[in-house]
Amino acid sequence: GDIPSVPYCDRCASSGTEPRSPSSSQQCPSTRTATYAEALKCLQTLEFDAFSLTYDQMCHLSLEIFKQVGVLDSLGVSSEQIRTLISFVRTHMPPNAFHNFAHSFDVLQSCFALVHMTRALENFDTLETFSLLVAALCHDLGHPGVTNEFLVSTSSALSHVFNDRSVLENMHCVRTFELLSHPDIGITQCLDAQDYLRMRKLIIECILATDLDLQDRYLATLDAAVEPTGGSTKDTHKEID
């Protein structure tokens, strides 16, 4: 039979599962304490303070990150498409105390800073870099502000769809690809079938890896990969799974 539509969490149910276009009434305020120029200077560092910015500044700097890695032209993705994606993510992040748009931007910037400081991008191809940034931006998309444990213990509709496994992370993946394929964004249409499937695999792996229940497994694999006698290949370091 047909695969059912993935529901939103009961706690933040929407009138439908279609992505909503951004509107000013849905955008959360933020207190401005830093100038855009000040933020831009330290965008590639871990000294960056994401929470000193307004949401508008976060949107501009999110686009700047995608521009600075220099992958858009080679993928045929326009700055306007990324700008629209960022705006949609902003709209679809509920005003939770923690899992909000500021958190999405903070993770994107931290990820960007880490790969810049470690020169990891030298070992990533264009699609890997783009997928990593999209996953960082969208990894908590539509977060209801509750845990997987809560969703499972309350027998939520969302937990039933994903069989109690990485419930939120699976939902975030679904929401991410709803946006990427949205007609106002159309990023998936820029890629051929092979690149789309590879991007999809990379984004899903990155987002699912944010399930805290899996952190011990990933840390153990990382520890093994950096052991001097581990004999790990470059690809193993890029894709720890």
Question: Is 99 assigned a catalytic role?
Answer: yes
Binding residues for Zn(2+): 103, 139-140
Catalytic entry in 92, 99, 143, 172:
99
DSSP string, the chain: -PPPPPPPPGGG--S-SSPPPP-GGGPPP----S-HHHHHHTTTSTT--GGGS-HHHHHHHHHHHHHHHT-HHHHT--HHHHHHHHHHHHHHS---SSSSHHHHHHHHHHHHHHHHHTTGGGG--HHHHHHHHHHHHHTTTT--SS-HHHHHHTT-HHHHHTTTSSHHHHHHHHHHHHHHTSTTT--GGGS-HHHHHHHHHHHHHHHHTT-GGGHHHHHHHHHHHTSTTS---HHHHH---
Q: How far apart are CA 175 and CA 5, in angstroms?
A: 11
- Would you say how long the chain is, in residues? 241
Cα atoms in the 13 Å half-sphere on the side-chain side of 214: 17
Binding residues: 103, 139-140
The token pair that represents 111 in the structure block: 């990820």
Contact call for residues 55 and 102 (beta carbons, < 8 A) = yes
**Residues labelled as active-site residues:** 99
